[in-house]
């Protein structure tokens, strides 16, 4: 019975991959085929996973991923790239990996998912109208390669200590993995590529890199750190806490004093990644992981929705003003928008771990961030026009507004609790 | 049955407020504001009926509790003990009589909506204070008193009519002009009262923390005091008493009551003689009732608190009487005598610590204090109402009017005679019996506890008090100057108001002779000391009627007393100067430091440096980024390796 259900999921994933490939090939003839191929592949994978895994568990996570991926796919309409059609396939591949990582406990597959999400962005980042943005590509790829290498070596070291414990190896592995993660997602002080790439690449691919590509690295890192946690973890979490604090300050102060909108969003990403990294302090205490998972994921989704909206608005020369303000308020953390819940659960997880100084820093940073988010909304806000930009922004706003009703939050939270329990049992 | 009880209480508290909302809403319409006062008065009438119903039909000492925030001890807890039942009726009846008087007195005023809303809000708040057993609920009513007092004193906020002022305009003494307009009077009242309310609120909070209960009748005061020791008891009770002393205008917080006379006379009658200022003494009597200090002589520190209350009361009594002896302004003279009377209430209430004698299970001293409050309320309210009528009739707030004037103003004249003689303790009129028991209480202090000073101060105060009341009568009706204006028509409802008010004094006299618990008063009245004091009061009264002003004394000490012994300097000069000095220091040394740290130098400077640093990294060159990142990664890895090796 077990074997059969697993097979359904894998069959589904496999057929999704085939459809994705066929769509991409077909797109050389007609770019629409790539788009529809990607959509169909995602729906098949989503349904296959939902049927296999206890539906309620995956739905709350999968539905957000599906939404983000579809908005990303649609937003690609706004740019006429040289690889039109294939880019759909790449985004589809990332989304498949992002869905899949939540449902596997195979170490190798976790790492594979990380690489699958990382590599397509190397190509996406260079997309621009008429030609390839090679300079940005080189800047980006240099750091991504370093990041992936650090992450993989760190992960392997950590997993090795699980079978043959060695304290110094654990510490080294932990630091390498976290540094890899920092480089990958852009946590200060290893964030140098972020402001440059975010301001000089095309906004559309950056909106994908800033949204869909951020989720898997965090889940993979959290998964490995929880899986390999030991007696040393309590003291080493201080390292992630300090890095997170630095990242929040660098990101927010940088954003506050930058002029270019893309650069502001780049620094905002640095700050947001700091918030999310801060909840990694729970890896020492598996019983609070559900709080970190809830907070981190909601924060990632809120960040994704906001970045998609803002970057698309930059591309489209502004979007409907109220939508921009709603996204800004979500970033600031105004209840009951999604950003608020993300921060709330992150703060709760920090408080449970008694990292009260970090709680204070998160709150202070939320306050620092208010002016530049409001400025973003003011500068990008325009009159309503029924165009693609506004529809994408509307979709993003609907996402952050889902949490206006308490039910989704409660549902998400309880799901994460169950998932965390199963993770705990697995350990 | 419970619902019926609550319905009575709800009507009692809400009828005055609800009935004054319509007039507050239509404040722009002259037509409606002329008619709707009758509705407001009707609301107070309902309260009268309810208070009488409670008095006659509710079981005594019954507690009515409805939980609100039980975690903080904040509940609707009302009690129908002896004090509440009587005081509730007194409050409602006085408010009702004054409201009737006010229909006439406030006719043609420029903002009737404001007046009636606050007047009725005041009545409801006072009733809440009276019936509440829960200290927090009491405090809610207490703050209502303060707010209504501010609103009503400053009723004539335009300060455009000299007749509403206190003091002689433009008369300067040193740096101060001894003249106060209504708006300033309102401000002085609320600021002085807040000065006491804050420590009182803290004391209530402390009681909750220490005793875990806020219901006055349920708190185990003995355990509470023993737990916190002598210093704790003194600090707690003195903080609590601060609220009572400021509200009751005891020295040195008495100034606000004098300038409260800038309000309409109805307000002076209701708030600033009969009820609100008496609320301080009332609450003091009420908590002493349940603390039972005469049983707690083993509690350290408690005696000191009661000595403080005793002497603040006696000193206020003497101060008020002396100040009144130099005053010519009708209402201010009455205000000074009011603080004097309330001082005596505090003093005799505090004497309960040393007095064990009980009548019908009630401590003699507390009973005397309470009955004196009742007699004083009706007598003084009558006098205020009369003086309001006189101000209307003569267009002057300074005493004037001779015997000719009195002949044309027969009813006010007779009411004044009754109210003054019944109040000052001339045998065998109402207050005589109460004052006799008061003399007896102080005698007990002298004979049994060797405290001679209280009885001396009490007798001295009684004599001067009698003289200033006679002086009020004489200057307005017997030997005063002829008024410049005379406007004697109308005023029917005014006359009705104070005639009804003063007639209650006869009922009280009847009650003293028929009630079981006041039998002790009658016995005390037959004692020789009491009779001697009563005779003294009569002599002082007669002399003062014939010689209301002594030329020899009119400059010194008359002016000194009239200027309230220069206590205004404390309120208007020393306190503000101290405040400005503190704010100067805070501004120059505190704020600049805080400002410099947060807003101008340290934090912004750091912010600038950090943000420059952050942006300086972004050179745009891959080469430098790689250097930074690789360098940092190496440093982190080396540190991690070293740390790992150390394990």
Q: Does B641 touch chain A (CB under 8 A)?
A: yes
Cα A213 to its chain centre, rounded Å, is: 5
pLDDT at A427: 44
pLDDT at B67: 86
pLDDT at A55: 56
SS3 B67: strand
In angstroms, the CA A91 to CA A75 distance is: 11
**Neighboring chain B residues of A177 at a CB cutoff of 8 Å:** none
Q: What is the DSSP letter of B574?
A: I
Q: Which residue of A has its CA nearest to B625?
A: A192
What are residue B479's DSSP bridge partners? B402
- Kindly determine whether residue B614 and residue A250, on different chains, have CB atoms separated by under 8 Å: yes
**Neighboring chain A residues of B638 at a CB cutoff of 8 Å:** none
> What angle, 0 to 180 degrees and rounded to 10, lies between the N-to-C axes of helices A289-315 and A388-401?
160
In angstroms, the CA A415 to CA A425 distance is: 15
pLDDT tens for A229-254 read 888 898 899 999 999 999 999 999 99
Which of A141, A170, A175 is best to mutate for the B interface (most B CBs within 10 A)? A175
Query: For B410-416, what is the mean pLDDT?
Result: 95
pLDDT at B538: 96
Q: Does B642 touch chain A (CB under 8 A)?
A: no
Annotate A53-64 with b (16+ C-beta within 10 A) or e (fewer): beeebbbbbbeb
pLDDT tens for B87-103 read 999 999 999 999 999 99
Tokens representing residue B170 in the block: 């433009």
Percentage helix, strand, coil for chain A under 3-state DSSP, each rounded to 5? 85, 0, 15
pLDDT at A416: 76
pLDDT at B170: 86
Tens-level pLDDT at each residue, chain A (427 residues): 344 555 788 888 899 999 999 998 998 888 888 999 999 999 999 998 888 776 567 777 888 999 999 999 999 988 888 888 888 999 999 999 999 888 887 888 899 999 999 999 999 999 988 888 898 999 999 999 999 999 999 999 999 998 888 889 999 999 999 999 999 999 989 999 999 999 999 999 999 999 999 999 999 999 899 889 888 898 899 999 999 999 999 999 999 989 999 999 999 999 999 999 999 999 888 788 888 888 999 999 999 999 999 999 999 999 999 999 999 999 999 988 999 999 999 999 999 999 999 999 999 999 999 999 999 999 999 999 999 999 999 999 999 998 887 667 777 777 777 776 665 544 4
The count of residues in chain B is 647
pLDDT at A424: 53
ipTM of the assembly? 0.89
pLDDT at A56: 63
**Neighboring chain B residues of A257 at a CB cutoff of 8 Å:** 611, 614-615
**Neighboring chain A residues of B636 at a CB cutoff of 8 Å:** 175, 179
> What angle, 0 to 180 degrees and rounded to 10, lies between the N-to-C axes of helices B410-424 and B492-514?
30
Q: Which residue of B has its CA nearest to A256?
A: B611
Indicate if the pLDDT at residue B494 is higher than 80: yes
pLDDT at A1: 39
Q: Which residue of A has its CA nearest to B620?
A: A196
pLDDT at B592: 84
In angstroms, the CA B460 to CA B536 distance is: 10
Q: Does B598 touch chain A (CB under 8 A)?
A: no
pLDDT at A2: 45
**Neighboring chain A residues of B618 at a CB cutoff of 8 Å:** 192, 195-196
State the first-to-last Cα distance of chain A, in angstroms, to the nearest integer: 24
Cα A302 to its chain centre, rounded Å, is: 10
In angstroms, the CA B454 to CA B487 distance is: 46
pLDDT at B553: 79
DSSP characters over B171-196:
EEETTEEEEE-HHHHHHHHHHHHHHH
- Kindly determine whether residue B628 and residue A258, on different chains, have CB atoms separated by under 8 Å: no
Beta-carbon neighbour count of residue A379 at 10 Å? 14
Tell me if the bond preceding A336 is cis, omega within 30° of 0.
yes
What are residue B215's DSSP bridge partners? B134
pLDDT tens for B442-491 read 999 999 999 999 999 999 999 999 999 999 999 999 998 888 888 888 78
Task: Quickly state the pLDDT bin for B71 (edges 50, 70, 90).
Answer: confident
Q: Does B585 touch chain A (CB under 8 A)?
A: no
Q: What is the DSSP letter of B566?
A: G
Beta-carbon neighbour count of residue B116 at 10 Å? 30
Which of B606, B612, B622 is best to mutate for the A interface (most A CBs within 10 A)? B622
| Helix extents (H) in A27-164 | 31-52, 55-75, 86-101, 107-124, 134-163
Indicate if the pLDDT at residue B2 is higher than 70: no
Q: Which residue of B has its CA nearest to A174?
A: B640
Indicate if the pLDDT at residue B242 is higher than 70: yes
Mean pLDDT, chain B, rounded, equals: 92
Indicate if the pLDDT at residue B410 is higher than 70: yes
Percent residues over pLDDT 70 in chain B: 99
The count of residues in chain A is 427
In angstroms, the CA B195 to CA A138 distance is: 71
Of A150, A195, A253, the CB nearest to B611: A253
Q: What is the DSSP letter of B62?
A: -
Of A143, A196, A232, the CB nearest to B618: A196
Instruction: Report if pTM > 0.95.
Output: no
pLDDT tens for B166-218 read 998 888 888 889 999 999 999 999 999 999 999 999 999 999 999 999 999 99
Q: Does B621 touch chain A (CB under 8 A)?
A: no
In angstroms, the CA A385 to CA B544 distance is: 91
> A205: distance to nearest CA of chain B, Å?
20
pLDDT at B591: 84
Tokens representing residue B508 in the block: 């009280």
Among A372-376, B71-75, B144-148, B415-419, the range scoring the smallest mean pLDDT is: B71-75
> A191: distance to nearest CA of chain B, Å?
8
Q: Whose structure tokens read 């009813």?
A: B411
């Amino acid at each position: 019975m077990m074997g059969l259900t697993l097979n359904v999921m894998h069959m589904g994933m496999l057929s999704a991959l085939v459809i994705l490939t066929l769509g991409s090939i077909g797109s050389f003839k007609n770019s629409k085929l790539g788009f529809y191929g990607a959509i169909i592949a995602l729906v098949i994978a989503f349904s296959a996973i939902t049927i296999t895994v206890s539906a309620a568990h995956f739905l709350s996570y999968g539905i957000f991923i599906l939404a983000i991926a579809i908005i990303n796919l649609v937003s690609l309409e706004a740019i006429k790239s040289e690889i039109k059609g294939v880019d759909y396939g790449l985004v589809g591949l990332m989304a498949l990996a992002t869905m899949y990582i939540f449902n596997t406990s195979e170490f190798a597959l976790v790492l594979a998912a990380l690489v699958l999400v990382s590599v397509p962005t190397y190509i996406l980042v260079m997309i621009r109208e008429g030609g390839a943005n090679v300079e940005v590509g080189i800047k980006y790829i240099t750091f991504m390669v370093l990041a992936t290498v650090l992450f993989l070596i760190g992960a392997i070291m950590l997993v090795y200590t699980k079978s043959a414990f060695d304290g110094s190896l654990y510490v080294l592995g932990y630091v390498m993995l976290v540094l890899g993660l920092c480089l990958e997602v852009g946590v200060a002080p290893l964030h140098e590529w972020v402001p440059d790439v975010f301001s000089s690449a095309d906004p559309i691919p950056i909106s994908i890199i800033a949204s869909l590509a951020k989720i898997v690295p965090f889940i993979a890192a959290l998964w490995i750190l929880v899986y390999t946690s030991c007696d040393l973890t309590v003291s080493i979490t201080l390292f992630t806490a300090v890095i997170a604090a630095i990242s929040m300050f660098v990101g927010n102060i940088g954003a506050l004093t930058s002029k270019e909108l893309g650069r502001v969003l780049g620094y905002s990403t640095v700050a947001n990644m700091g918030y999310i990294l801060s909840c990694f302090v729970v890896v020492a205490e598996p019983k609070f992981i559900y709080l970190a998972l809830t907070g981190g994921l909601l924060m990632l989704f809120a960040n994704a929705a906001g970045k998609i909206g803002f970057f698309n608005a930059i591309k489209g020369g502004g979007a409907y003003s109220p939508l921009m303000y709603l996204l800004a308020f979500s970033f600031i953390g105004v209840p009951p928008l999604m950003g608020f819940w993300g921060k709330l659960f992150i703060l709760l997880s920090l408080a449970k771990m008694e990292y009260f100084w970090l709680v204070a820093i998160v709150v202070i940073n939320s306050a620092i961030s208010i002016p530049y988010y409001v400025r973003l909304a003011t500068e990008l806000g325009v009159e309503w026009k029924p165009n693609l930009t506004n529809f994408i922004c509307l979709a993003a706003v609907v996402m952050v507004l889902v949490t206006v009703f308490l039910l989704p939050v409660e549902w998400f939270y309880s799901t994460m609790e169950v998932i965390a329990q199963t993770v705990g049992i697995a350990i | 049955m419970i619902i019926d009880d609550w319905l009575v209480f709800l009507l009692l508290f809400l009828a005055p407020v609800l009935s004054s909302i319509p007039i507050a809403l239509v404040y722009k319409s002259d037509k409606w504001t002329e008619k709707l006062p009758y509705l407001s008065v009707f609301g107070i009438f309902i309260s009268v009926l309810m208070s009488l119903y409670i008095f006659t039909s509710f079981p005594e000492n019954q507690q009515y509790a409805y939980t609100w925030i039980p975690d903080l001890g904040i509940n609707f807890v009302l009690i129908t003990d002896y004090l509440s039942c009587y005081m509730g009726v007194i409050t409602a009846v006085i408010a009702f009589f004054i409201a009737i008087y006010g229909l006439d007195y406030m006719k043609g005023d420029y903002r009737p909506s404001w007046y009636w809303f606050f007047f009725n809000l005041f009545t409801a708040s006072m009733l809440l204070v009276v019936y509440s057993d829960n200290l927090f609920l009491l405090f809610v009513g207490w703050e209502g008193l303060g707010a209504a007092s501010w609103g009503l004193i400053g009723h004539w906020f335009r300060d455009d009519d000299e007749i509403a002022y206190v003091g002689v305009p433009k008369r300067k003494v040193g740096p101060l002009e001894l003249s106060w307009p209504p708006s300033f009077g309102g401000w002085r009242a609320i600021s002085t009262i807040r000065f006491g309310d804050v420590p009182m609120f803290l004391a209530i909070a402390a009681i909750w923390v220490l005793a875990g209960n806020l219901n006055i009748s349920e708190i185990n005061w003995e355990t509470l005091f023993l737990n916190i020791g002598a210093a704790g008891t003194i600090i707690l009770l003195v903080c609590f008493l601060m609220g009572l002393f400021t509200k009751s205008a005891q020295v040195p917080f008495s100034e606000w009551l004098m300038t409260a006379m800038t309000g309409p006379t109805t307000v002076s009658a209701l708030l600033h003689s009969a009820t609100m200022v008496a609320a301080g003494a009332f609450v003091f009597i009420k908590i002493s009732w349940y603390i039972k200090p005469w049983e707690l002589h083993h509690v350290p520190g408690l005696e000191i608190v009661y000595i403080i209350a005793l002497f603040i009361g006696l000193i206020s009594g003497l101060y008020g009487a002396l100040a009144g002896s130099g005053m010519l302004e009708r209402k201010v003279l009455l205000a000074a005598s009011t603080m004097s009377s309330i001082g005596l209430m505090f003093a005799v209430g505090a004497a309960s610590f040393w007095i064990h004698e009980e009548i019908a299970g009630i401590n003699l001293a507390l009973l005397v204090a309470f009955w004196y409050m009742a007699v004083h309320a009706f007598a003084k309210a009558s006098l205020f109402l009369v003086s309001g009528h006189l101000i209307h009739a003569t267009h002057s707030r300074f005493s004037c009017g001779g015997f000719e004037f009195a002949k044309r103003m027969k009813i006010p004249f007779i009411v004044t005679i009754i109210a003054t003689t019944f109040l000052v303790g001339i045998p065998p009129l109402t207050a005589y019996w109460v004052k006799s028991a008061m003399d007896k209480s102080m005698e007990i202090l002298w004979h049994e506890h060797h405290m001679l000073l209280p009885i001396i101060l009490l007798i001295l105060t009684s004599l001067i008090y009698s003289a200033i009341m006679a002086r009020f009568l004489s200057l307005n009706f017997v030997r005063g100057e002829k008024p410049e204006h005379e406007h004697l028509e109308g005023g029917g409802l005014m006359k009705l108001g104070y005639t009804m008010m003063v007639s209650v004094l006869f009922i009280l006299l009847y009650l003293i002779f028929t009630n079981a618990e006041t039998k002790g008063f009658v016995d005390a009245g037959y004692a020789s000391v009491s009779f001697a004091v009563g005779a003294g009061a009569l002599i002082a009264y007669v002399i003062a009627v014939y010689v209301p002003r002594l030329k020899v004394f009119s400059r010194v000490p008359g002016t000194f007393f009239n200027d309230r012994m220069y206590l205004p300097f404390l309120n208007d000069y020393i306190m503000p100067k101290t405040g400005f000095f503190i704010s100067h220091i805070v501004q120059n040394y505190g704020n600049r430091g805080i400002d410099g740290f947060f807003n101008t130098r340290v934090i912004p400077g750091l912010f600038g440096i950090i943000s420059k640093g952050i942006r300086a990294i972004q050179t745009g060159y891959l080469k430098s980024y790689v250097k930074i990142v690789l360098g940092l990664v190496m440093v982190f890895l080396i540190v991690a390796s070293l740390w790992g090796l150390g394990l």
